[in-house]
Amino acid sequence: MHNSIKFLPMFIIATLLSSCIGNGKSVRSGLSRIAAPVTLGVARKQYEEAYFDIPGSRNWVALTIDDAPNSDSTPEILQLLAASSGNPHATFFIAGEDGAENPHLLLAIKDGGHELGNHGFDDAPSSQMGLTEFVANVEKSHRILLDYWDEDDRKWFRPSDDRFTKQQAKYLKNVRNYEIALGNAYPFDYKDNNVPAAVRHIKRFVKPGSIIILHDGPEQGARTVQILEQILPWLQEQGYSVKTLSELLENGT
C-alpha cells in the first residue's frame, strides 16, 4: 500500500506529460502546455499593455496566425478558412521580410476579409532589441503594410518572441497607435509537430473572447492547417464565431 501511494504522484505526472507531450516528441513543448495557466497569469501582469483576450457580449473568439505569409501554407490556410462554415476570419501577423517577397499573398489575405497585423520585419526577438533597433524593425514592416491597410483600419502588433519592453510598448501605442496582441489559447505549436496536443490545448483554454495563436511558415503552416481542420468545426459546434482581432475588440467595447 505504501509503495502504491508513492507511485500515485508519479503516475499522475506521467499521465499529464503523456497527454500534453504526446509520443515524447517534445518535452519542452509539453511542459510549456502544462505550465500554461501559471505562465499566462504571470504574463498578464508583466505585459499589461497587451490584450490576452477580449471578453464581450457574444461567443466570439479571435484567430491569429503568426509568421505569415508563406507561399505554400498561406494559400492552404486561406482556402480552408474560405471553405469552412460560419465564415471564419483571422488576423495574420505579417513578417515584413516575407510580406515584401509575397505581395500577392498580402492582397489575398485582405481580399479574403481577413486582417493584416505587424509582426516585425524578421525573426529577431523583439525583447532583445534596443529601442532604436526595435523601432527600425517595426517601421520597415509598417511601410510595407500601409499599402494594404485602409485609413481607418485598426493596427495590431505582436512581438516576434511574445515579449516586449515598457519602452517598446510606449512607442507602439503612443507613436504608432498600435494595439498589442498576445493570447490566452496558445498551444506552442511552433515548437513541435504534436497536432493532437495542440488541438487539446486550444479546446481546454478557449472561452468567449479568447485569442488563439497559431503559426504560418514552411513547417508550422502545414500543422496549422491540420489543427484548424479539427478546431474550426469544433468551435462552430460549441457555438463560437471566429473573428479578427478588430472584430473581437469592437464586440468587447
* Listed residue (49, 53, 67, 22) closest to 178, CA to CA: 49
163 confidence band (pLDDT: 50, 70, 90): very high
* Listed residue (175, 102, 80, 192) closest to 134, CA to CA: 175
What one-character DSSP code corresponds to residue 174? I
114 confidence band (pLDDT: 50, 70, 90): very high
Q: What is the mean pLDDT of residues 56-80?
A: 97
* pLDDT above 70: percentage of residues in the chain: 88
Whether 20 shows a pLDDT value over 70: the answer reads no
**Phi and psi torsions of 213, nearest 5°:** -115, 120
Which tens digit of pLDDT belongs to each residue from 192-217?
Answer: 889 999 999 999 999 999 999 999 99
* Listed residue (253, 230, 245) closest to 115, CA to CA: 245
Return the exposure string of 103-142: e unless at least 16 CB atoms fall within 10 Å of the residue's CB, then b: eebbebbbebebbbbbbbbeeeebeebeeeebbebbebbb
Which tens digit of pLDDT belongs to each residue from 212-240?
Answer: 999 999 999 999 999 999 999 999 999 99
Residue 213's domain spans which residues?
48-252
Instruction: Tell me, yes or no, whether 218 lies in a domain.
Output: yes
Residue 121 parent element (H or E): none
Lowest mean pLDDT among 23-32, 109-118, 130-139: 23-32
Instruction: Tell me, yes or no, whether 16 lies in a domain.
Output: no
What is the reported pLDDT for 13?
38
Instruction: Tell me, yes or no, whether 38 lies in a domain.
Output: no
CA pair distance 134, 19, nearest whole angstrom: 38
Instruction: Tell me, yes or no, whether 180 lies in a domain.
Output: yes
What is the reported pLDDT for 125?
95
Task: Copy the grid coordinates of residue 173.
Answer: 501605442
* Listed residue (121, 116, 115) closest to 100, CA to CA: 121
Q: What is the CATH number of the domain that holds 132?
A: 3.20.20.370
38 confidence band (pLDDT: 50, 70, 90): confident
Instruction: Tell me, yes or no, whether 4 lies in a domain.
Output: no
Count the domains in the chain: 1
Q: What is the mean pLDDT of residues 3-20?
A: 39
Instruction: Tell me, yes or no, whether 14 lies in a domain.
Output: no
Instruction: Tell me, yes or no, whether 30 lies in a domain.
Output: no
Q: Which string of DSSP letters, residue by residue, matches 235-250?
A: HHHTT-EEE-HHHHHH
Instruction: Tell me, yes or no, whether 43 lies in a domain.
Output: no
What is the reported pLDDT for 206?
98
* pLDDT above 90: percentage of residues in the chain: 80
Terminal CA-CA length for the chain = 57
pTM, two decimal places: 0.88
Length of the chain: 253
Alpha carbon of 112 to those of 79, 96, 99, 105, 235: distances in Å?
A: 9, 19, 16, 10, 20
What is the reported pLDDT for 21?
39
